[in-house]
């Protein structure tokens, strides 16, 4: 039974509990997955593409491995995370490594018997030299978007392994739970509105899960599956690389939803990352 069907006969308090339970479960599962990515030095591989950029806007902190890597390498980071459990784990991870980061909690659940939304308070924080971890979501958080527009533009935006929790099915009105719908919606909005927060010549770096291409034809098809959401009059492609993933669906981790154009059984393909580095060449 889908989550939508399960909540129809529940009280708001029961729905609230299911939402929070799902968010916490997701944070634990992503913690397991990202710990293995960290052990395999995946975040070091991702970071080298933006090594020369100082001010970084990170979309999705996860449980903090990526955020910590960016800070350790000397970047000034503003990280946006909509899962409050992931937000807290990121704050603890960065702080326990003796780096300073300010945490901004702003969301409150608004629940009815068919869906829920998150009401976000206005962002009051001034962005100085501190690293900032903000609860929010670029899809439907207008207060956050307004605040981002008020800032000096960033040198780079990173979207590394974007994913979401199954409860997003009822938050965004999806017919069923599909991570790729959420990822496409989020990336499309970020790229479309990039002039609001990304400097001219700034980098937009996407890392996603896919399968390792077995031919040049497959490689081209995979690259084009991402480029279809990119306005190539505004962005230049600087680099596109594939990196084989050590392992696939990690035990106790988040179920991977990958881009598979091979036609092969998902259980038989070789998992990989695709890294797509774009440079902003025109501002609106």
Cα(115)–Cα(213) distance, integer angstroms: 39
Centre a 10 Å sphere on the Cβ of residue 213 and count the other Cβ atoms it contains.
Answer: 19
Residues 258, 213 contacting (CB under 8 angstroms): no
For residue 93, pLDDT beyond 90: yes
Average pLDDT over residues 184-201: 91
With left for phi above 0 and alpha for psi between -120 and 50, is residue 263 left, alpha or beta?
left
Nearest to 110 by CA among 199, 19, 192, 229: 19
As a whole number of angstroms, the longest Cα–Cα distance in the chain is: 54
Cα(218)–Cα(225) distance, integer angstroms: 11
Cα(111)–Cα(118) distance, integer angstroms: 9
Containing structural domain, residue 138: 3-280
Q: Where are the alpha helices (DSSP H) in the chain?
A: 3-7, 12-39, 42-47, 65-72, 84-96, 142-149, 168-171, 179-192, 216-227
Q: Confidence class of residue 30 from pLDDT cuts 50, 70 and 90?
A: very high
- Which pTM was predicted? 0.91
What is the tens place of the pLDDT at every residue in 244-258? 988 655 555 556 555
Average pLDDT over residues 204-215: 91
For residue 180, pLDDT beyond 80: no
Average pLDDT over residues 135-152: 92
Average pLDDT over residues 178-192: 83
- Tally the domains of the chain: 1
pLDDT value at residue 183: 83
- Identify the CATH number of the domain in which residue 237 sits: 3.40.50.150
Mean pLDDT of all residues belonging to the chain: 87
Q: What is the dihedral of CA 214, 218, 222, 225, to 10 degrees?
A: -160
What is the tens place of the pLDDT at every residue in 94-120? 999 999 999 999 999 988 777 788 999
Q: What is the dihedral of CA 229, 246, 88, 29, to 10 degrees?
A: 100
Cα(235)–Cα(251) distance, integer angstroms: 38
Coil, strand or helix: which one is 78? strand
Residues 62, 90 contacting (CB under 8 angstroms): yes
pLDDT value at residue 185: 86
- Give me the percent of the chain exceeding a pLDDT of 90: 57
């Amino acid at each position: 039974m889908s989550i939508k069907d399960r909540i129809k006969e529940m009280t708001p308090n029961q729905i609230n509990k299911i939402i929070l339970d799902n968010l916490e479960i997701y944070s634990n599962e992503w913690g397991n997955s990202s710990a293995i990515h960290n052990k395999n030095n995946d975040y070091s591989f991702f970071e080298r593409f933006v090594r020369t950029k100082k001010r970084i806007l990170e979309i999705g902190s996860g449980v903090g491995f990526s955020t910590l890597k960016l800070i350790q390498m000397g970047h000034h980071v503003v990280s946006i995370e909509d899962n409050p459990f992931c937000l807290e784990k990121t704050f603890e991870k960065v702080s326990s490594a003796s780096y300073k980061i300010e945490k901004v909690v702003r969301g409150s659940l608004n629940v009815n018997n068919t869906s829920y939304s998150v009401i976000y308070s206005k962002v009051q924080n001034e962005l100085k030299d501190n690293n900032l971890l903000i609860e929010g979501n670029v899809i439907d958080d207008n207060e956050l978007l307004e605040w981002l527009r008020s800032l000096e533009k960033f040198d780079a935006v990173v979207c590394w392994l974007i994913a979401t929790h199954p409860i997003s099915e009822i938050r965004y009105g999806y017919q069923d739970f599909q991570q790729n719908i959420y990822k496409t919606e989020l990336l499309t909005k970020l790229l479309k509105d990039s002039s609001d927060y990304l400097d001219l010549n700034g980098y937009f770096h996407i890392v996603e899960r896919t399968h390792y291409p077995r031919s040049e034809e497959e490689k081209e098809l995979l690259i084009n599956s991402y480029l279809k959401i990119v306005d190539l009059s505004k962005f230049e492609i600087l680099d596109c690389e594939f990196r084989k993933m050590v392992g696939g669906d990690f035990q106790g981790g988040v179920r991977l939803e990958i881009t598979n154009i091979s036609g092969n059984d998902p259980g038989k393909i070789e998992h990989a990352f695709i890294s797509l580095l774009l440079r902003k060449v025109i501002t609106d």
